[in-house]
Amino acid sequence: MIIKYIALLLVQVLLLFITVPSSQAEYLQNNQVAINVSYENHISDPYTIHVTEHQKYTISQKHSWTTDGIGRYNLQAYSIDNGPVVPINRSSDGNFTLDIVADTNHSILFIAKPQFEMLFQGITNATFFPVSPTNDSWFDADSDEQFIVPHIIPSDNEYTRQQITGWSLDNSDINVIAGESDTFKSPIIHMSEPHKVDLKYKTQYYVNVITNFGRTLGTGWYNSGTIVDITALPGNDVLINHVFSGWQGPVIGNTNQESTEVSVDSPKILVANWSADYTNISTSIIIIIAVTVVLTIYLKRKNILKS
């Protein structure tokens, strides 16, 4: 009899622990609302958030996210409960937050654009036309873009620079860039997939050919490794005759020749040296003295004859 009583008591206690949580769960369920989050075109998995009724809940959604490792999606707009589409300011990173008051069940639809990246090698300061909607190197799928890069990249050394010579798109075939302007603007690139742009630059050095008399030829920018002709040209001598006496600097060949060559493997300064020959002045002085003496004698004789 005692055993039966104890068993009955245990059953009642067990029923108490079972029925109380069940009623609490039912109470909580009846006082919660569901926020269903989904994505247009099923670009990401939907999910549901349960929130206590009449409470405010903040949804946090990344501005950009990847799904396949090739491109990414960038948040563009949202809609609440099939209402109007609300655009947002697009950003390349960070989170977009949306406050929802849980007065009833809600459905949130996020709308995003697929994007592809234009990845560069050989330069870091490319600009784009038109600019990316996310202000980076990612562009909306099926948009048409052009990149703009400087033709010349200066360095810390004012006598060294980089000059663009060619570029390639997604392969090793180099498109030669001729001429020299401030910038190079590419042909239109269709952004239907990621693109890899490889820019080719050559190092250039400045060769400065100077002289304190006459003029020189050869000053300018040259590709590294080239051989450059330099020349010293005499000026107009009047009284002092200038004679070329040689080059100061790393020239190739005879330094005493007015025309020679220099190998451009670094910035170069070449100085044309001239020596002064005063023979013309001496001769002119002798002639002037002789003429003066003759004229003086002539005038004296003439005065004597008159007297």
Where is the domain boundary, 77, 96, 115? 115
d(CA 183, CA 160): 18
Three-state SS for 68?
Answer: coil
Q: Is residue 106 located within the same domain as residue 65? A: yes
Q: Is residue 189 located within the same domain as residue 126? A: yes
pLDDT, tens digit, 9 for 90 and up, residues 201-253: 999 999 999 998 889 999 999 999 999 999 999 876 556 787 889 999 999 98
Domain assignment of residue 124, yes or no: yes
Q: What range defines the domain where residue 61 resides?
A: 34-115
d(CA 246, CA 259): 10
Domain assignment of residue 107, yes or no: yes
Check residue 15 and give its pLDDT: 45
pTM of the model: 0.71
Q: Is residue 128 located within the same domain as residue 192? A: yes
Residue with the bigger pLDDT between 297 and 244: it is: 244
Q: Is residue 44 located within the same domain as residue 81? A: yes
Strand pairing partners for 52? Answer: 32
Domain assignment of residue 302, yes or no: no
> 102 is written with which tokens?
């849980």
In terms of DSSP bridges, do strands 127-129 and 72-80 run parallel, antiparallel, or are they unpaired?
A: unpaired
d(CA 199, CA 121): 6
Q: Is residue 122 located within the same domain as residue 196? A: yes
Where is the domain boundary, 65, 97, 115? 115
SS (H, E, C) 177-211: CCCCCCEEECCCEEECCCEEEEEEEEEEEEEEEEE
Where is the domain boundary, 177, 203, 229? 203
Check residue 289 and give its pLDDT: 66
Looking at the structure of the chain, the number of domains it has is 4
Domain assignment of residue 298, yes or no: no
Q: Is residue 124 located within the same domain as residue 194? A: yes
Q: Is residue 254 located within the same domain as residue 184? A: no
d(CA 9, CA 4): 9
Counting residues of the chain whose pLDDT is more than 90, the rounded percentage is 65
